[in-house]
Chain A
Amino acid sequence: DSGVTQTPKHLITATGQRVTLRCSPRSGDLSVYWYQQSLDQGLQFLIQYYNGEERAKGNILERFSAQQFPDLHSELNLSSLELGDSALYFCASSVAPGGGLIQETQYFGPGTRLLVL
């Protein structure tokens, strides 16, 4: 158990809909990261927040957005869902903001499996 929690575990929805995935980082961690794992793309970085502010952005679609709240939990919002958005979505956390020479480990949650029908 990494200490990172994600809800829900599974989500089934229809094309065009909007969903929200939730993540709570490990106690003491200020950074939250979102990754997508689809069958043909592997694990892809989406976005990072540190203490409520966006710190790094990957190839995140404009239909997707995220935020980190004052209690440090984060939500990933996926809208206008398409079939291709079906994937595993992982959240990870770490203590520091990263960047520069800071080398630290990211700890992953169990993931949310999203199925868009």
Chain B
Amino acid sequence: DQQVKQNSPSLSVQEGRISILNCDYTNSMFDYFLWYKKYPAEGPTFLISISSIKDKNEDGRFTVFLNKSAKHLSLHIVPSQPGDSAVYFCAARGIETSGSRLTFGEGTQLTVNP
């Protein structure tokens, strides 16, 4: 049962253009969503997050949008740079009485071409 899905395994964009990475979820109990970036042979690096009470959060070139009714979130990167080339993971946290866990999507490989 894949509760967080990233349906595009890969995305290729030109430098300077917008990159849009998408993520869908099924569990309505998720209340906090995060995006991580991962380079080969490194651990996931936190990028940006959004609470379920918001619909947008922006940090520099990165913006995350949340559509709760559609159970969909997206990460926009503008402008895209070659150094952004990496695997991007969407993650979600559910409300639990104790402890915390993240449920991850399968990841999207972003390639930004110079």
Contact = CB atoms under 8 A, between A and B. Distances in A.
Given A31-B100, A42-B106, A42-B107, A103 B51 contact: yes
Contacts of B31: 101, 103
Interface string A35-62: 1000000111100101000011010000
Interface string A71-93: 00000000000000000001000
A4 B107 CA distance: 22
B95 A100 contact: yes
Given A94-B100, A103-B51, A111 B95 contact: no
Contact of B45 (A48, A50, A97, A108): A108
Interface in A93-116: 94, 97-111
Interface in B21-73: 31-32, 34, 36, 41-46, 49, 51
B99 A48 contact: yes
A99 B46 contact: no
Given A43-B89, A45-B103, A110 B43 contact: yes
A97 B104 CA distance: 19
A109 B38 CA distance: 11
A105 B46 CA distance: 8
Interface string B95-114: 11111111111110000000
A17 interface: no
Contacts of B76: none
Given A42-B105, A108-B36, A55 B46 contact: no
A4 B106 CA distance: 23
B48 to A, nearest CB: 10
Interface of A: 2, 4, 6, 31, 33, 35, 42-45, 48, 50, 55-56, 58, 90, 94, 97-111
Interface of B: 31-32, 34, 36, 41-46, 49, 51, 89, 91, 93, 95-107
User: Which 8 pairs show the lowest CB-CB distances between chains A and B?
Assistant: A98-B100, A56-B99, A55-B99, A108-B43, A43-B104, A103-B32, A45-B101, A99-B98
